[in-house]
Structures are given as C-alpha cells and as structure tokens.
Amino acid sequence: MSNKICVFFGHREIKGQENLRERLLVLVEELIREKEFGVFLFGGFGEFDELCHTVVSKLKEKYPTIKRVFCLNDERHLRKEKRPKYLRDEDYEEFTYLPLDYNYWYTRIYYRNCEMIDKSDYAIFYAEQKKESGAYKALQYAQKKKKPHINLFYETPTV
C-alpha cells in the first residue's frame, strides 16, 4: 500500500449533484489504481463528507489495503470511551489527532483542516465560493499552499 494521502472537504449539504457520487467513485478509484494513493483522511460532518466516506468504503472492498483515517479535532476523542458515538471503529482503520494550539471550536476545526491539507498529497473539494464557508476557506488554504486539488463544485474530475 502506498502512503500517498488524499483528503476531502465539502459543504454540509449537497444539492443538485445527482452524479456527484459517480464522479467521486471514478476519481478516487483512479487515485488508488493509477496514482497509488493508499490513505484517505476524513474529518468532517455533513453530506459531502459522508458521501466521500461511502465511496472510499465501497472501494475498500476492491482495494482492501487502503486506509480510512478520521482526523479528530479533540485529543480526548483518541480514547474510545470519550469518542462521539457516530465515530465507529468499523468505519475507519485509524483515528488520529493533529495537535493544535487553538481552543475555540471553529478555529480548531479550521487549523485541523489546514494540518490535514499540509499532510496530504491531493485534496478533493466540494466548495462554493462563499466567504463564510469552512470548505471554501480550506480550498483557499490549499490554493495558497499550491496543493494539488480539484473542486468538484465547479469541475469534472481528471487525474
């Protein structure tokens, strides 16, 4: 299994994107098969993150060596008994915490997202250009860092 890392960021709600699942499936499978990606980072909530997790989990049946890693935003959640119930062991191969110096919840999420982008080799976004959007802020950070990425809100994937 390769150590190349892909990360996902998107809006809590996805509307009017009936073919988004298929686009994601094609893109992620190309990353695995042709680009040798083996680690997929998750950290969010909402429909896009759930869709990405579903796609990667489906592909795990075909490519059992890939890893699904949930990046926690609270160090206490490393302990299973403190972890939110929606984070189930069977849904991820690993839970990790990226140490941050910020305590305010929204700020912690933003800097955790920046850390995830820094650690990744490729980022997949579903982000409309809205100033107040966390997904869009993460996209802007990836662009500033010149991180290879795609924004499926506007683009059709090509690897």
Considering only 16-30, 31-45, 50-64, which range has the smallest mean pLDDT? 16-30
- Kindly report which listed range (23-27, 36-40, 94-98, 149-153) carries the lowest average pLDDT score: 94-98
DSSP string, 124-157: EEE--S-TT-HHHHHHHHHHHTT--EEETTT---
Give me the pLDDT at residue 121, please: 97
Is the model's pLDDT at 129 over the cut of 80?
A: yes
Which domains, and CATH codes, for the chain? Answer: 4-151 (3.40.50.450)
For 136, counting Cβ atoms within 10 Å of its Cβ (0-12 exposed, 13-18 middle, 19+ buried), the class is buried
48 within 8 A of 8, measured Cβ to Cβ: yes
d(CA 46, CA 155): 20
For 63-99, the pLDDT digits (tens) are: 999 999 999 888 888 899 999 888 999 999 999 987 7
Work out the average pLDDT over 18-27.
91
pLDDT of 98:
77
Distance CA 20, CA 10 (A): 12
Say whether pLDDT at 146 is over 60. yes
Q: Please, which pLDDT band fits residue 25 given cuts at 50, 70 and 90? A: very high
Q: What is the pLDDT of residue 130?
A: 87
